Structure 1
């Protein structure tokens, strides 16, 4: 199953990917929308058969689980093997 992440919510005074606390998404096959917290989304994206992406209408960028050396895993976009900032460019909710 694939979902498009459409919006993010950051913790107060947060600016980085690790500060994202919630993700708003849309299931591409059913049209269902919802929002989920960071631990739930990390687990979901990590599950075989699930995928997430962001889109600007012209192209898609895959979302993966980023595991820093120190700290908890979080979501980040990955374009052609390079971690990118596409999630931080999404609208806030």
Structure 2
């Protein structure tokens, strides 16, 4: 099952990838909200998440940086990108 992340919720300022606390998503016939630790683990266990549709579809991956908790970020054209930060908040 692949999910499209459609909205994000920030837990603090500044609003960056690390401060996202939950994600709203859809999949054919399903929709839900998942907290960051659960979705990070799901993606690490071969779950497929993305942002956008069609030619604008960008895969979501897990970033692990020393001294921070793992977080999600989009990955396109061989580079980490900021698509999640452009999503509407809920």
Quote the residue 1:20 is aligned against: 20
| Superposition TM-score, scaled by structure 1 size | 0.90
Structure 1's consecutive aligned runs of 4 or more residues displaced over 2 angstroms after TM superposition are none
Aligned residues: 90
Q: CA-to-partner distance for each residue in 1:18-62, whole Å, 9 max, x for gaps?
A: 0000000011xx3200000000000011112x2000006641000
Instruction: Name stretches of at least 5 consecutive residues in structure 1 with no aligned partner.
Output: none
Residue 71 in structure 1 maps to residue 73 in structure 2: no
Instruction: Name stretches of at least 5 consecutive residues in structure 2 with no aligned partner.
Output: none
What pairs up with 1:33-52 in 2 under 5 angstroms? 33-48=31-46, 50-52=47-49
RMSD: 1.3
Quote the residue 1:80 is aligned against: 77
| Superposition TM-score, scaled by structure 2 size | 0.93
